C-alpha cells in the first residue's frame, strides 16, 4: 500500500509517500521562510498563495522520485487542521481533487496526530502506552496515548503555545524568523546569570501550562539590559521553559504511572529540552527533520487511518481548530 501525504497547515508545503513495506519512499518539503522573513512572521495570505504555486509540482516530483504513478497510490491523506484556514484549504482542495480524479480514498488528518505518529517513523519506536508532550507553534499538550486513536488529554496551555513564546521572545531579541531554532543557537553562547524568568504554573496540581507571562517578562528584561546580554537572556528564557515542560511531563508520568515519554512537534527539535526530558523518563523523539512540519508524518498517519477504515468522501474539509480525539476515522 502507498499513501500520499500532503501538509499545508502553515509555512511549509510538503508531501511524501509512505509504503507499508519500505516506509517513506519519497518526500518533498518546501519552506516558505524566505517569503515571510521580511515580515518577521507568517503572513497567512502569502502562505496560501505560495502553497497553491508549489504544491502540485512538489507532488509530481515526489511521485517521480519514488518512480510511482498515480495508479500506484492507494490513498491520499492531507492535514485537515488545525492551522491557517487558507493554507489548509489549499491542501484539502488539492488532496480531494486528486482523490476524485484518481478514484482513490482520501482522508483529513489532525496535524498534531501526524506530529505524534512521526515518532513511529524512527527507531527505536515507543511501545504503547506512553505519555506524549506535543510542543509546536500552536500547541502545548500532555496526552496519555494508549494506542493509535486512543488519546486522553492530561493538560495543555491555558494561553500561548510554547513555540509561540520562543518565536515572540526571539523577535524581541532581534532574531530572524523562525525564532525557535535561532534562540536555541543564541542560548548556546549564554551563561547562567542573575537573569531570572518565571516558571508559570510550575507548582499547580494540574499539568497545564501558561506561557504568555514569560513572553511579557522577556519584553521587560530585553528593555532593561544592554545588547551584550542577549545570549544570557536567551539562555535564561530557554532554561525556564525547558524546566517547566520537563517538570510537568514528570508530573504527567507520575499521575499515569507510565515510564515512556514521547516528545513531538517543532519545539521537540530543541536539544536542551530533549536533554532535560531524558532525565525523567525513557525518551523517544522523532528524527529532527520529522519534528517540524513535513509530509512524511501525514502520509504515515494516513496509512494508519486507512488500515482502520478505508472509506472516503470527497467533501473538502479544513478546520482551523478541533481536538485531536475528534479527527476523522
Ligand atoms: O511543528 P511546527 O513545525 O509547526 C507547528 O505545527 O506550529 O513547529 C514550529 C514551532 C515554531 O514555533 C518554532 O520556532 C519552533 O517550533 N521550533 C523550535 C525549534 N525548532 C522549531 N523551538 C525551539 N527550539 C528549536 N530548535
Ligand atoms: Zn506542526
* Per-residue pLDDT tens digits for 50-92: 999 999 999 999 999 999 999 999 999 999 999 999 999 999 9
Q: Is the previous residue joined to 163 through a cis bond, with omega within 30 degrees of 0? A: no
Residues within 5 Å of ion ligand 2, judged at the Cβ atom: 136, 293
User: What's the confidence (pLDDT) of residue 309?
Assistant: 83
* Top mutation candidate among 133, 267, 271, 296 for ligand 1, by most atoms within 8 Å of CB: 267
Cα–Cα distance, 175 to 33 (Å, whole number): 14
Res. 329 pLDDT band, cuts 50 70 90: very low
* Per-residue pLDDT tens digits for 222-244: 999 999 999 999 999 999 999 99
Res. 134 pLDDT band, cuts 50 70 90: very high
Which amino acids bring their CB within 6 angstroms of ligand 1? Answer: 10, 111, 136-138, 163, 166-167, 178-181, 184, 265-267, 269-270, 292-293
At 245, phi and psi to the nearest 5?
Answer: -65, -40
Q: What is the DSSP letter of 179?
A: H
Q: Does residue 328 surpass a pLDDT of 50?
A: no
pTM of full prediction above 0.85 = yes
Q: Which ligand is nearest to the CA of 267?
A: 1
Kindly state the greatest CA–CA separation across the chain: 63
Q: How far is the CA of 267 from the centre of ligand 2 (A)?
A: 9
Residue 83 Cα distances to 1, 79, 105, 265, 306, angstroms: 28, 9, 23, 13, 23
**Which residue has its alpha carbon closest to ligand 1 atom 1?**
266
> Residues 118, 240: contact at Cβ < 8 Å?
no
Amino acid at each position: 500500500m502507498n499513501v500520499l501525504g500532503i501538509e499545508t497547515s502553515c509555512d511549509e508545503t510538503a508531501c511524501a509517500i509512505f509504503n507499508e513495506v519500505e516506509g517513506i519512499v519519497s518526500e518533498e518539503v518546501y519552506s516558505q521562510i524566505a517569503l515571510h522573513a521580511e515580515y518577521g512572521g507568517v503572513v497567512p495570505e502569502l502562505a496560501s498563495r505560495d502553497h497553491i504555486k508549489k504544491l502540485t509540482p512538489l507532488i509530481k516530483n515526489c511521485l517521480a522520485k519514488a518512480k510511482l504513478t498515480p495508479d500506484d497510490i492507494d490513498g491520499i491523506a492531507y492535514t485537515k487542521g488545525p492551522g491557517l484556514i487558507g493554507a489548509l484549504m489549499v491542501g484539502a482542495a488539492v488532496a480531494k481533487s486528486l482523490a476524485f480524479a484518481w478514484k482513490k480514498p482520501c482522508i483529513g488528518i489532525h496535524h498534531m496526530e501526524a506530529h505524534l505518529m512521526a515518532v513511529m517513523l524512527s527507531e527505536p519506536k515507543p511501545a504503547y502506552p506512553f505519555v506524549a508532550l506535543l510542543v509546536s507553534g500552536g500547541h502545548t499538550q500532555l496526552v496519555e496515548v494508549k494506542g493509535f486513536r486512543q488519546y486522553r488529554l492530561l493538560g495543555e496551555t491555558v494561553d500561548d503555545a510554547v513555540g509561540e513564546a520562543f518565536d515572540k521572545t526571539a523577535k524581541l531579541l532581534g532574531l530572524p524568523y523562525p525564532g525557535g531554532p535561532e534562540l536555541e543557537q543564541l542560548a548556546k553562547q549564554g551563561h547562567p546569570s542573575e537573569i531570572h524568568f518565571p516558571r508559570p504554573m510550575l507548582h499547580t496540581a494540574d499539568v497545564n501550562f501558561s506561557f504568555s507571562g514569560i513572553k511579557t517578562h522577556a519584553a521587560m528584561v530585553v528593555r532593561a539590559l544592554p545588547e551584550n546580554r542577549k545570549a544570557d537572556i536567551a539562555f535564561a528564557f530557554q532554561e525556564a521553559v525547558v524546566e517547566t515542560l520537563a517538570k510537568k511531563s514528570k508530573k504527567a508520568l507520575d499521575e499515569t504511572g507510565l515510564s515512556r515519554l514521547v516528545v513531538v512537534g517543532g519545539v521537540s527539535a530543541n536539544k536542551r529540552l530533549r536533554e532535560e526530558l531524558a532525565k525523567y523518563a525513557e525518551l523517544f523523539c522523532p528524527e529532527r527533520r520529522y519534528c517540524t512540519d513535513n509530509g512524511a508524518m501525514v502520509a504515515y498517519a494516513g496509512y494508519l487511518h486507512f488500515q482502520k477504515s478505508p472509506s472516503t468522501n470527497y467533501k473538502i474539509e479544513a478546520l482551523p481548530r478541533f481536538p485531536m480525539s475528534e479527527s476523522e476515522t
